[in-house]
Amino acid sequence: MTTSPTSQDDKPVAPLSLGILISGRGSNMKAIYGAIQDGEINAHIAVVVSDNPESEGLAWAAANGLKTASFSRQAFAKKSDFETAILKTLADHGVDWVVLAGYMRLVGKTLLTPYQGRMVNIHPSLLPAFPGLHAQAQALAYGVKVSGCTVHLVDNTMDGGPIIAQEVVPVLPEDTVASLSDRILSVEHVLFSRVLKVISQGF
Ligand code: GAR
């Protein structure tokens, strides 16, 4: 017998409609897709949007039957126009929650305001340490002995906003940026799905 997900008060919860924003490889998106397929997250991916038409993740999403859209920032005079185009796509697909899965741009108020409190990001450090680009290289350069990843609600600052969950990984003496990034990434894949599972249960 299969059971429908229920909320705290035992009412059935409708599947979340996710809009996933990516810029590159899309391994977090793939992990989320897998967790949905496995019935772990009560959601469907309504659309995958990229700011990079050439991104590997976008091609994978299309090849796997997901709806996709891409918008080059360069094609728009103003950031607000660029974000209005993304917003329209999200609205057209009935997106409830926006998932930033390696979306490497600061979200502006045009996109943030309608989704404030319903937009989550993952970042490969223990925020507030090492926001922005090359978080793993920043961690190595600083000499920290542990790092990790953070899932947080998005505000109008770079990798800022209320923290939902974090996971720690060790930084080993022999680590390179590649080895540390790989160790953090495998933990990201688990943590992001765990957070989305809880959100999708209506908490
Ligand atoms: C991930 O490590 C994610 O945490 C990071 O980009 C990578 C994307 O990988 N995001 C940020 O640094 C956001 N500031 P993926 O495309 O394979 O999911």
Q: Which CATH number fits domain 16-200: 3.30.70.20, 3.40.50.720, 3.30.1490.100, 3.40.50.170?
A: 3.40.50.170
| CA 39 vs CA 5, 138, 159, 167: distances in Å | 10, 36, 29, 23
Catalytic residue among 44, 93, 123, 152: 123
If you measure from the C-alpha of residue 96 to the centroid of ligand 1, how many angstroms do you get, rounded to a whole number? 22
User: CA dihedral in degrees (57, 41, 132, 160; nearest 10)?
Assistant: 150
Residue of 27, 152, 180 with the most ligand 1 atoms within 8 Å of its CB, for mutation:
27
- Whether the Cβ atoms of residue 146 and residue 139 lie closer than 8 Å to each other: no
Ligand 1 atom at shortest distance from the alpha carbon of 122:
4
Question: What is the model's pLDDT at position 13?
Answer: 79
Cα 23 to middle of ligand 1, angstroms: 9
User: Which of the pair, 188 or 11, is modelled with greater confidence?
Assistant: 188
- Is 134 assigned a catalytic role? no
pLDDT of residue 1: 38
* Residues 46, 94 contacting (CB under 8 angstroms): yes
**Ligand 1 center to 39 CA (angstroms):** 24
What is the DSSP-derived secondary structure letter of residue 128?
Answer: T
Position in ligand 1 atom list of the atom nearest CA 25:
16
Ligand 1 pocket mutation pick from 185, 186, 189, 190 by most atoms within 8 angstroms of CB? 185
How many angstroms separate the CA atoms of 49 and 55, rounded?
10
* Residues 114-157: tens digit of each pLDDT: 999 999 999 999 999 999 999 999 999 999 999 999 999 999 99
CA 189–ligand 1 middle distance (angstroms): 10
pLDDT (0 to 100) of residue 2: 42
Averaged pLDDT of the chain? 95
